[in-house]
Amino acid sequence: DFTEYYIDKNIANIIAKAKLYPKTVEEILFEEPLPFKITQEDIGVLYANGVIDRDPEGNCYIPVPIYKKALYHHFKPKTNGERRHFKSPIETYKKYVDERGLLDVTKLLWRYIAYVKNRGNIIFSQRKASEGVYHYNIDAFFSTYAEFADAKRFVETPVGGGRVDLLLLQAGKTDIIEIKRYDADQYEKSQGQLKAYLERSGLSEGHLVMFSEYHEAESYEKVETEGKTLHLWVIPVKRPVPSA
């Protein structure tokens, strides 16, 4: 099929150009917004080759969804072998469903915290990990359970005038999950952002997950505000080095 061949060739070209500046592309995909500066060599080259463009806020973004998906999978942090740690073969996903038989995000996040306690020192290095590592790890975790439950999950999805980090869809139920690296000011700002997403999308609740290199223990808070429910999570990733 010529159309499929043409698309595949374009994707290959986009990936080849993106590989010229991997750190910049990873920052655009996984980190905080990167200002679009056309005079900056990496940004100028990526823009000239159709990899990125300038969004309305003046930041870099990847405008073509099919290119973004391809780049996301090419540059994603590796989670080789983690699937068996996300979900034990002798454990059923039904342990983490609600009364309707749908995946319960709160139950799943407690399971994810247990996973991080067990594997965090291996998956997240002792130095500060990039936000992209956290994003992709939790995405891979939810993807594992979504597959068994016939749910759909999407990353960086337009919702309520913005883009949410992780979206879980199942039988008419929509769950929003925002993922950040912990910062006290960002924590407050992200709560407001999540609430705005909920208001504009007509949803009643959502989750904010913050990975922290500074907290020793996990925390969970359920906040009711103006008819919306915010589930606030802090997941510590600073783990002691195992003894020999």
Distance between CA 137 and CA 148 in Å, rounded? 18
- Percent of the chain, pLDDT > 90? 56
Tokens linked to 201: 């999308």
- Over residues 38-59, the mean pLDDT reads 95
Q: pLDDT tens across 95-112, in order? A: 999 999 999 999 999 999
Tokens linked to 166: 């992780």
Task: Write the DSSP assignment of 87-153 as a string of letters.
Answer: S-TTS-GGGGB-TTSSB-HHHHHHHHHHHHHHHHHHHS-SSPPPHHHHHHHHHHHHHHHHHHHT-EE
> Containing H/E element for 225?
strand 219-225
Q: Which of 166, 77, 84 is nearest to 123 (CA)?
A: 77
Higher pLDDT among residues 42 and 184, named by residue:
42
Do the bridges between strand 162-170 and strand 152-159 make them parallel or antiparallel, or are there none, so unpaired? antiparallel
Q: How many other β-carbons are positioned within 10 Å of the β-carbon of residue 50? A: 15
Confidence of residue 219 (pLDDT cuts 50, 70, 90): very high
CATH classification (class only), 83-236: alpha beta
Q: pLDDT tens across 153-210, in order? A: 988 765 555 678 899 999 989 999 999 989 888 898 999 999 999 998 899 999 999 9
Q: What is the DSSP letter of 91?
A: S
The yes-or-no verdict on residue 145 having pLDDT over 50 is yes
- Over residues 115-122, the mean pLDDT reads 86
The yes-or-no verdict on residue 12 having pLDDT over 50 is yes
- Contact status, residue 116 vs residue 210, Cβ threshold 8 Å: no
Higher pLDDT among residues 8 and 139, named by residue:
139
Start-end of H helices in 78-130: 83-86, 105-123
Q: Which amino acid is at 155?
A: V
- Percent of the chain, pLDDT > 70? 88
pTM of the model: 0.75
Q: Which of 144, 132, 152 is nearest to 83 (CA)?
A: 144
